[in-house]
Structure 1
Amino acid sequence: MSFWQAYRNLSSLTRIGVGAGIIAWATVGLYLSDSVEEKLGFTPTEADKEALDRFKPQIHVIERK
């Protein structure tokens, strides 16, 4: 039995609960990720930001007459 089929076999109330739980987990992760990043020392330095800027695509506008 596949994961999708097992999910579809759950009652509708349970599926709503699973979906709400996933959304809540993602929301908490978005709000807490910056503070956890700072506590673990994973904040990017200015050198890291400059190295990343080198890989960004550059847009050059050419005017036509």
Structure 2
Amino acid sequence: MSFWSAYKNLNPRTRALFGVGLMCWAGIGLLISPQVEKALDMVPTEEEKRELERKLDFRVVSVDREKRGGDKS
């Protein structure tokens, strides 16, 4: 029996509680992750933040297409 079929065989109320429980677990993880990073001394420096911002910065550049038939006017 696969995990999906076992999940689908659960009572709908149980599935809903399971989903809410997973969302709560994820929310708790998002709330405590900054404290865990500080405790493990994994806080990024300002230089690392700037480097990440530079890598994530993108620009869209438009390039004019040449007309068909070789006419470059």
Q: Give your verdict on TM over 0.5.
A: yes
What one-letter code is carried by the residue in structure 2 that aligns with 1:6?
A
Unaligned runs of 5+ in 1: 61-65
Return the letter of the residue paired with 1:40. Answer: L
Identity level (%)? 43
In the TM superposition, what are the counterparts of 1:23-34 in structure 2 within 5 Å? 23-34=23-34
Q: What is the aligned partner in structure 2 of residue 63 from structure 1?
A: none
TM-score w.r.t. the length of structure 1 is 0.78
RMSD, matched Cα: 1.6
Count residues with an aligned counterpart.
60
Q: Which runs of 5+ in 2 are unaligned?
A: 62-73
Structure 1 CA distance, aligned partners of 2:49 and 2:24?
31
Deviation at 1:48, TM superposition (A): 0.6
Secondary structure at 2:18 match in 1: helix
TM-score (normalizing by structure 2): 0.70
Runs of 4+ in 1 over 3 A off after TM superposition: none
